[in-house]
Amino acid sequence: MKFTKNRFKNNGLFVKMFVIMVVSIVAVSILTTWTTINLSGRVFMETFSITNSKVIQQIQTRMDLFNYSIVTTTNKIAQSGTIKLFLSQGEGSSNELYKSYYAMSQQMNRIRLSVDAYELGITVTGTNGRSYSTDRSNWPVTDAVLKQHPITKRSLAEPRKLMYQYDDAERSGLSTVSPTIIATKALTDRSGTVYGMVYFALRETYFAKFYDSNTSPGNDIAIMDSQGTIISSNREDWIGQQSSDLLHYAQAIEEQDLAYKNADIMGKDQIILSEYLGSLNLYMVNLIDKQTVTSQFIDTKRIAIIVMGIVAAAVLIVFIISRRMTKSLSRLVKQISTISKYEFDRYVTVGGSYETRQLGLAFNEMIDELNDYVGRLVDTERQRRNAELEALQQQINPHFLYNTLASVKFMVQQGSKEKAAETINALISLLHNAIGTVGEMITVRQELDNMKNYVYINHIRYGERIRVSYFIAPDCLDYQIPKLMIQPFIENAFFHAFNEKQGGHIYIMVAQEGAALRCEVVDNGDGMKTDGVSGLPKQASKRQLFSGIGVRNVNDRIKLLFGEEYGVTIASERGEGTKVKIRIPLLSPKNDSNS
């Protein structure tokens, strides 16, 4: 596993070049293929739409011929005196009735020849209650039902209009009625009085023969009336359904004189062609499912296999070329990575291509310059460290001094001169510790005295709502620690740990832990949020603090003096309190602080 990881690191440039080239090839191939398929599909759909428009014109011609036959037959029936007499005369003798039916039969047989090419059933009814039908099998509706049928009522409402309507078992209430197209017309005399009705019944399955040969999977036709009811279609599940959306698109194509319209309808992305059959007052709608039709003419699977083969060949070529270009560079990277791990003053072997040789020479020159620079940097860092430590020790917060002196003034005014003197002595000790000693180190005992002075001043200023307890191992009192190492955490606890709670306790503990000195500051205050990266608290205001040495300064100072294994760790929980742990090496009194 480690060997594989190292090989990957040493050949990183080759891997990146190869991956980028492969991704580029695949992306270009996919984009080109998609564009080609999409463009081909669009061109095909345009051509297909034009072809279908011509087909629709042919279907319209057939339907116009059918409608012409219906109109001609209707006119013959309306002009026939025999038929009018049969439908309007009153009851007579049996002989007269027989003669009337015979004449009616002869007349209807002659008129029927006009529509003999179609499987039509013609039914006529009169206001006198008589009726005659050439064939009721297409539409088996009784005279009683026919009289109250919605189709009859709609025709009587517009007696001068030839209407094409739809009926089925659900609409008629008769289970024997299959989907049927009914052409109806009221029969009127010259005064406009209705004396009868004529019905032409054509089963939907026969009506569909006008266009059925021109349909295919994904290429469907629907005939619908002005109410949006689909009265005929090659899709049986559409017949009799109401589709206001489809009617809307058909009307939009007619009104805007569009060749076709793209729409997402019936759950599919389709092209819609429509023709208004004015003579029938019907819409003929052609729906072309783009996906289904395109898949029949464009072999996407075969195209994908060809593209994958081309991509595989291109990837192989790219692999060989990229490997040859980066091989010498990979060897140089391997040498450099080995040197950086073990010997900083070793040189790389110069070889390979011109570019690689130049890199090798530049690296060897850089090693020489780097060695000189590191030496100078070590000296500079040592000088900067001493300057930083001395600058941190000199930081005294003027707000702390001002507020403390104001408290002393108040005590003097109140007559508490002894207490004021003790406060001033404590302040003098604090100032002496902060700026009076030049060295970096003091003993634990001295730091303890400074902390007690600081706590005393705060008790004078704010009262004793925050108690402080000290637990110092006697054998640790003479160990040396950096000046002002613990005090900043006492300050932080006083002014940030008890903002929500009215009071609490601070515990200060110092003890030996193996070869290290452990100092802890624990409070039972509010707790705080810490930095998720370092575990240290977020920066807070230092307005009320005595020194300028913040929590982060202490941590940075310890690491600068003693190394990364030492420093400050903080554990805190909201509402429970905070625990600060400081860890430094054991420094006996004999240790020279400047060493």
399 and 544 share one domain: yes
d(CA 545, CA 530): 19
Residues 474 and 495 in one domain: yes
Radius of gyration of the chain (CA): 52
pLDDT for 265 equals: 84
DSSP 34-45: HHHHHHHHHHHH
Q: Is the pLDDT of residue 471 over 70?
A: yes
In a domain, 153, yes or no: yes
CATH of the domain at 562: 3.30.565.10
pLDDT digits (tens, 9 = 90+) for 349-367: 777 667 777 777 787 777 7
What span, in angstroms and rounded, lies between the C-alpha atoms of 146 and 70? 20
Instruction: For 164-191, give the secondary structure using H, E and C.
Output: EEEECHHHHCCCCCCCEEEEEEEEECCC
Q: Report the pLDDT value the prediction gives residue 403, as an integer from 0 to 100.
A: 62
- 418 and 473: one domain? yes
Q: Are 253 and 273 in contact (CB under 8 A)?
A: yes
The predicted-structure confidence for 487-508, as pLDDT tens digits, reads as follows: 888 888 888 888 888 888 999 9
Residue 392 pLDDT greater than 80, yes or no: no
Is the per-residue pLDDT at 442 higher than 60?
Answer: yes
Q: Which of 510, 520, 517 is nearest to 588 (CA)?
A: 517
Cα distance between residue 583 and residue 595, in whole Å: 19
Query: Tell me, what DSSP letter sits at residue 216?
Result: B
- Supply the pLDDT for residue 306: 83
pLDDT of residue 165 exceeding 90, the answer is yes
Both 372 and 449 in one domain: the answer is no
- pLDDT given at position 37: 67
Domain presence at residue 349: yes
Q: Over the range 158-179, which residues count as b (16 or more CB within 10 Å of their CB) and which as e? A: eeeebbbbbbeeebbeeeebeb
At 546 the pLDDT is 45
Cα–Cα distance measured from residue 478 to residue 470, given in angstroms and rounded to the nearest whole number: 16
Does some domain include residue 208?
yes
Domain end marker among 389, 405, 421: 389
Same domain, 467 and 354: no
Q: Assess if residue 254 is contained within a domain.
A: yes
Domain finish residue from 389, 409, 424 = 389
Q: Is 288 left (phi over 0), alpha (psi -120 to 50) or beta?
A: beta
Q: Does residue 452 lie in a domain region?
A: yes
Mean pLDDT of 405-428: 75
- Least confident span in 304-318, 331-345, 556-570: 331-345
239 domain residue, yes or no: yes
**Residue 401, token pair as written in the block:** 């001094």
User: Would residue 30 count as lying in a domain?
Assistant: no
The answer on 423 and 279 residing in a single domain is no
Q: Give the pLDDT mean for 297-317.
A: 78
> Which of 536, 520, 467 minimizes the C-alpha distance to 498?
467
- DSSP β-ladder status, 282-289 and 219-225: antiparallel
What b/e readout covers 471-509, taking b as 16+ CB neighbours within 10 angstroms? ebeeebeebbbbbbbbbbbbbbbbbbbbeeeeebebbbe
Tell me what the pLDDT averaged over the chain comes to.
80
Residue range of the domain that includes 374: 343-389
Count of Cβ atoms closer than 10 Å to residue 520 Cβ: 17
Identify whether residues 71 and 212 lie together within a single domain.
Answer: yes
Joined together, the tokens standing for residue 54 give: 């011509």
Mean pLDDT for the stretch of residues 100-106: 89
pLDDT digit string, tens, across residues 230-271: 999 999 999 999 999 999 999 998 899 888 888 888 788 888
Residues 403 and 369 grouped into a single domain: no
Helical (H) or strand (E) element with 466 = strand 466-472
Number of folded domains that form the chain:
3
Judge contact between 398 and 545, C-beta under 8 A. no
Residues 187 and 289 in one domain: yes
pLDDT on residue 594: 42
Beta carbons of 314 and 307 less than 8 angstroms apart: no
Please tell me the predicted confidence (pLDDT) of residue 541. 44
At 505-523, the pLDDT tens digits run 999 999 999 889 999 999 9
Over residues 218-234, the mean pLDDT reads: 91
**381 and 488 fall within a common domain:** no
Give me the CATH number covering residue 96. Answer: 3.30.450.220
Give me the pLDDT at residue 544, please.
42
Least confident of 70-74, 228-232, 389-393: 389-393
pLDDT (0 to 100) of residue 340: 58
184 and 60, same domain (yes or no): yes
- 385 and 511 assigned to the same domain: no
Instruction: Report the DSSP beta bridge partners of residue 581.
Output: 520, 569
pLDDT score for 583 = 94
How far apart, in whole angstroms, are the C-alpha atoms of residue 491 and residue 279?
99
Whether residue 523 lies inside any domain: the answer is: yes
